[in-house]
């Protein structure tokens, strides 16, 4: 791993991964390809460690000529594919963008990698790797007594978003099997932490509570999710890139199963504690139950024993410590919040954000 292309590196997980790689991989050069859609922001990439090893290119992963040119000219040996449409609500009301980006975009990247690495052998003699970052939502919904998702759990996607990610997972595995492309995959539970666009549950609740706005909670709020702090996820990705076995899939999770309502209440408690003079205290009084969304999965849980066993990974942050760090980051970075909210793409999101609700994926 010498020259790494990160797709979607201006987004939440991508930008945190770029910070992580520059901090922990001193010999790696990074190229970030991002279309800068509404959820991508260059503000996420400020204050990078050793930015001399980093380069940004604005572009579309569906642009085959652009992707091939970057792989060829930059002698890329590793692709970390994070670029995706990821918001479940948006996929329900506008699935076409998810089919294009998540399926067609992944196919385009795979075809480009096959052409450059397998056919042209531009980086012959060096180890190459295509790593695809996916989601636990491809597995569908669990009943209360069902065991956690493991790597061999059958796919049962429930939303257009989950279906598009499932399709892209199958494409990656097929290219590995058919063309000998060295691929790895990871399916991760809900991420949270710094730099997350406020359509997602945790930053939406935090920022609304700070302003005294309603905290919308789908249905009864008893949907169960597994949460992993984004820096723990980035460390897992780094280990997979370095030591993961080609052709393998690794689940990444946080070993917790709170309900969405419990998450919201905990965030309110942390804000009460952190902001004793706030006129919106107690912040839990802002909670409002709203009609549930169509096809809402009831429970996710991740079995990540494989990555622990093979790569010695486990989450370092508990849900308590991670939520505290998340609250502190948003309170300490009002400039980032203002910059994101001042962008035209954020105003566009507000205009079409169906009743202002958010669900993390």
In a domain, 327, yes or no: no
User: In this structure, is residue 109 part of a structural domain?
Assistant: yes
Average pLDDT for the chain: 94
Question: What would the pLDDT profile of 48-107 be if each residue is shown by its tens digit?
Answer: 999 999 999 999 999 999 999 999 999 999 999 999 998 888 898 899 999 999 999 999
**Per-residue pLDDT averaged across 326-331, rounded?**
98
The catalytic position among 89, 136, 317, 359 is 136
Higher pLDDT, 357 or 340: 340
Is there a contact between 299 and 143 (Cβ–Cβ < 8 Å)?
Answer: yes
Model confidence at 361, pLDDT cuts 50, 70, 90, reads very low
CB atoms within 10 A of CB 311: 18
Residue 149 covered by a domain: yes
pLDDT for the residue 347: 66
User: Is the model's pLDDT at 179 over the cut of 80?
Assistant: yes
- Look at the chain and report how many structural domains it folds into: 1
pLDDT, residue 79, reads 98
Half-sphere exposure of 293 toward its Cβ, with a 13 Å CA cutoff? 24
Nearest CA-CA partner of 287 in 221, 333, 239, 240 = 221
155 exposed, middle or buried (CB, 10 Å; 0-12, 13-18, 19+)? middle
169 flagged as catalytic: no
Q: Which residues contact 268 (CB under 8 A, 6 or more apart)?
A: 205, 209, 215, 282, 283, 284, 286, 287
Q: Quick check: is 223 in a domain?
A: no
Q: What is the pLDDT of residues 94-148, one digit of tens each?
A: 999 999 999 999 999 999 999 999 999 998 777 999 999 999 999 999 999 999 9
356 pLDDT tier (thresholds 50, 70, 90): very low
Structure tokens at 293: 């969304």
Asked if the structure places residue 23 within a domain, the reply is yes
**Short-list 44, 49, 22, CA closest to 34:** 44
Helix ranges, the chain (H)? 12-24, 64-73, 88-93, 96-98, 105-113, 160-179, 201-210, 230-243, 260-274, 305-311, 319-332, 334-342, 344-351
Residue from 34, 43, 89, 137 carrying the catalytic annotation = 137
Please indicate, yes or no, if residue 91 is contained in any of the structural domains: yes
Query: What's the rounded Cα separation, in Å, for the pair 143 and 227?
Result: 18
Q: Domain containing 14: what range? A: 3-197+228-255+296-318
Q: Are 17 and 51 in contact (CB under 8 A)?
A: no
Q: Residue 102 is part of a domain; what is its CATH number? A: 3.40.50.720
- Reference 54, options 84, 26, 12, 82; nearest CA is 26
Residue 38, domain member (yes or no): yes
What pLDDT score does 359 carry? 46
- Is 330 within 8 Å of 195 (Cβ atoms)? no
137 labelled catalytic: yes
Dihedral sign, Cα of residue 240, residue 243, residue 246, residue 252? negative
**What's the confidence (pLDDT) of residue 220?**
96
For residue 170, what are the CA distances in angstroms to 13, 173, 183? Answer: 22, 5, 12
Classify residue 342: in a domain, yes or no.
no
pTM: 0.94
| Catalytic member of 38, 54, 161, 192 | 161
pLDDT tops 70 at residue 358: no
- Work out the average pLDDT over 210-227: 96
Averaged pLDDT, 249-268:
97
Q: Catalytic site residue 179?
A: no
């Amino acid at each position: 791993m010498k020259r790494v292309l990160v797709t979607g590196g201006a987004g939440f997980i991508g930008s945190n991964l770029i910070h992580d790689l520059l901090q922990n991989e001193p010999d790696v050069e990074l190229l970030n390809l991002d279309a800068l859609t509404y959820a991508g922001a260059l503000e996420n990439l400020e204050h990078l460690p050793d930015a001399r090893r980093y380069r940004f290119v604005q572009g579309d992963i569906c642009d085959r000529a652009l992707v091939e040119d970057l792989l060829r000219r930059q002698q890329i040996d590793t692709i970390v594919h994070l670029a995706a449409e990821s918001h479940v609500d948006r996929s329900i009301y506008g699935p076409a963008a998810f089919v294009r980006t998540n399926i067609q975009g992944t196919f385009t990247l795979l075809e480009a990698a096959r052409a450059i690495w397998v056919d042209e052998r531009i980086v012959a003699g060096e180890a190459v790797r295509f790593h695809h970052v996916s989601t636990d939502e491809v597995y569908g919904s669990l009943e209360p007594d069902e065991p956690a998702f493991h790597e061999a759990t059958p796919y049962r996607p429930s939303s257009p978003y989950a279906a598009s990610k499932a399709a892209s997972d199958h494409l990656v595995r097929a290219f590995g099997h058919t063309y000998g492309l060295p691929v790895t995959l990871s399916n991760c539970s809900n991420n949270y932490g710094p730099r997350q666009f406020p359509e997602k549950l945790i930053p939406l609740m935090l920022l609304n509570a700070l302003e005294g706005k309603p905290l919308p909670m789908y249905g009864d709020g008893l949907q169960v999710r597994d949460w992993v702090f984004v820096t723990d996820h980035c460390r897992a990705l780094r280990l997979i890139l370095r030591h993961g076995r080609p052709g393998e899939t690794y689940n990444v999770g946080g070993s917790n199963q709170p309900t969405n309502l419990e998450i919201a209440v905990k965030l309110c408690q942390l804000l009460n504690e952190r902001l004793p003079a706030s006129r919106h205290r107690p912040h839990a009084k802002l909670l409002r139950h709203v009609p549930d969304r169509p096809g809402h999965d009831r429970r996710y849980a991740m079995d990540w024993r494989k990555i622990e066993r093979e790569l010695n990974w486990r989450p370092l942050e508990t849900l308590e410590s991670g939520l505290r760090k998340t609250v502190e980051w948003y309170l300490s970075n009002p400039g980032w919040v203002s910059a994101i909210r001042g962008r035209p793409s954020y105003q566009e999101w507000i205009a079409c954000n169906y009743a202002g609700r958010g669900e993390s994926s």
